[in-house]
């Protein structure tokens, strides 16, 4: 007799992800990215909750069968009494699953962006450092279909566009950057619901910890989980979570296509910088690898981009706004602080021009129309 359906579901999801990791590992060779000749190491980020404990159990079962090493990391945010003891307990549970290495990492959570964003930044920074130190080929995260639905709903509420509605990617790089972080994070459970992961833990007698922050109405995601989504299901019927998760995948496909189109369009609308004796950074004008024309100082510091207004005006709005956002970020505006309203204001310099002043953006970046060009640079 085979495993319980819930256990079979989580193992299948992890097995598919591990096959992808193997394909991505150093030219498909079954050796670690650090060149040691050992099998690749895959880590699971485990909080001790049902989702990540189910993920840890599935990784422990599947990895040896594919010739992979499996380990686990838990992050102690230090935000609740007894968090250090809880972290040690999670490490012991990971070790009991034969995950090696199994370790806890303590972080200090700042205040930038609010408590949820600050904790997330600290967590990913710690996971990045652990992955680099241990030479891990990938880090598995326990986000489920329910988490994806919540993310889409939050993006919808922010009105941030298609990319925000695309939710979390099954494979993503680190939000904090760093060497080797391009495809570090894998989310095997985006098509698995939270009920299945909890059931898998129960039938395997895995102890789980329910984070009280997940039920605290002070946190936005908690309100979405316990108030907004149940209200939607009550009003619209069952299936809202599945529909939102499906929307994420469709939106991601659309956003990827539009981003590729915008990259090509960005190259087409770049113009030579008007500054005297410019020293373009990177490849020479007209060569591949340059997305926009860069305005430089005598010292060669990158200060912005110059784009052709008629060329921008001819683009579809969805593509044009992506070009503008890319140019603003390249000029030094922090992506996390650049909102739809900022891009709309820049867009009006192209589509509704009547001599208005420059648009000030986060990061001391300004977008200014100068005749037939749009100049985006730090000021």
Q: Which residues contact 11 (CB under 8 A, 6 or more apart)?
A: 3, 58, 61, 62
Residue 48 annotated in ligand binding = yes
Outline where 32-104 has alpha helix (H): 50-62, 83-96
Between CA 250 and CA 81 the distance in angstroms is: 42
Residue 355 annotated in ligand binding = no
CA distances from 346 to 155, 263, 267, 363, 376 (A): 22, 18, 19, 15, 9
At residue 365, the 3 state secondary structure works out as strand
Reference 80, options 127, 128, 119, 117; nearest CA is 119
Which DSSP helix (H) or strand (E) runs through 302? strand 302-308
Reference 326, options 300, 305, 296; nearest CA is 305
Residue 51 annotated in ligand binding = yes
Residue 49 annotated in ligand binding = yes
Per the CB < 8 A criterion, the answer to whether 128 and 184 are in contact is: yes
Reference 330, options 358, 356, 297, 294; nearest CA is 294
Within its chain, how far is the Cα of 304 from the centroid?
A: 25
Within its chain, how far is the Cα of 6 from the centroid?
A: 27
Between CA 322 and CA 328 the distance in angstroms is: 10
Q: Is the link from the previous residue into 263 a cis peptide, with omega within 30 of 0?
A: no
CA dihedral 350, 351, 355, 359 (to 10 degrees): -60
Residue 50 annotated in ligand binding = yes
Written as one string, the DSSP assignment of 87-130 is HHHHHHHHHHTT-SSEEEEE-----TT-HHHHHHHHHHHHHHHH
Task: Classify each residue of 199-224 as buried b or exposed e, where b means 16 or more C-beta atoms within 10 Å of its C-beta.
Answer: bbbeebebebeeeebeeeeebebbeb
Positions at the binding site for ATP = 47-52
Positions at the binding site = 47-52
């Amino acid at each position: 007799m085979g495993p319980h359906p819930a256990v079979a579901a989580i193992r299948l999801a992890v097995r598919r992800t591990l096959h992808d990791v193997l394909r991505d590992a150093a030219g498909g060779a079954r050796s670690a990215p650090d060149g040691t000749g050992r099998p690749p190491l895959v880590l699971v980020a485990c909080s001790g909750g049902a989702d990540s404990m189910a993920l840890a159990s599935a990784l422990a079962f599947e990895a040896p069968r594919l010739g992979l090493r499996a380990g686990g990391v838990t992050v102690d945010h230090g935000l609740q009494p007894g968090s250090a003891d809880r972290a040690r307990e999670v490490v012991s549970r990971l070790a009991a699953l034969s995950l090696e290495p199994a370790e806890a990492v303590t972080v200090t959570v700042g205040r930038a962006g609010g408590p949820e964003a600050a904790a997330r930044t600290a967590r990913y920074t710690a996971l990045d450092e652990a992955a680099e130190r241990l030479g891990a080929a990938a880090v598995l995260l326990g986000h489920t279909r329910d988490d994806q639905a919540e993310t889409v709903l939050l993006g919808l509420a922010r009105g941030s566009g298609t990319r925000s509605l695309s939710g979390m990617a099954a494979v993503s790089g680190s939000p904090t950057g760093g060497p080797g972080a391009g495809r570090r994070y894998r989310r095997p459970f985006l098509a698995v619901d939270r009920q299945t992961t909890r059931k898998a833990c129960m039938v395997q007698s895995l102890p789980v910890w329910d984070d009280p922050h997940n039920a605290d109405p002070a946190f936005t995601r908690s309100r979405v989980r316990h108030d907004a989504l149940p209200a939607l299901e009550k009003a619209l019927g069952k299936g809202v979570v599945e529909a939102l998760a499906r929307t994420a995948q469709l939106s991601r496909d659309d956003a990827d296509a539009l981003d590729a189109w915008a990259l090509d369009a960005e190259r087409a609308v770049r113009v030579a910088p008007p500054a005297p004796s410019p020293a373009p950074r990177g490849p020479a004008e007209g060569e591949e690898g340059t997305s926009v024309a860069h305005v430089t100082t005598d010292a060669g510091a990158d200060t912005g981009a110059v784009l052709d207004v008629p060329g921008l005006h001819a683009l579809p709005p969805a593509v044009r706004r992506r070009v503008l956002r890319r140019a603003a970020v390249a000029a030094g505006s922090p992506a996390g602080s650049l909102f739809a309203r900022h891009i709309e204001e820049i867009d009006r310099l192209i589509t509704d021009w009547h001599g208005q002043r420059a648009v000030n953006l986060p990061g001391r970046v300004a977008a200014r129309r100068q005749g037939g060009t749009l100049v985006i640079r730090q000021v």
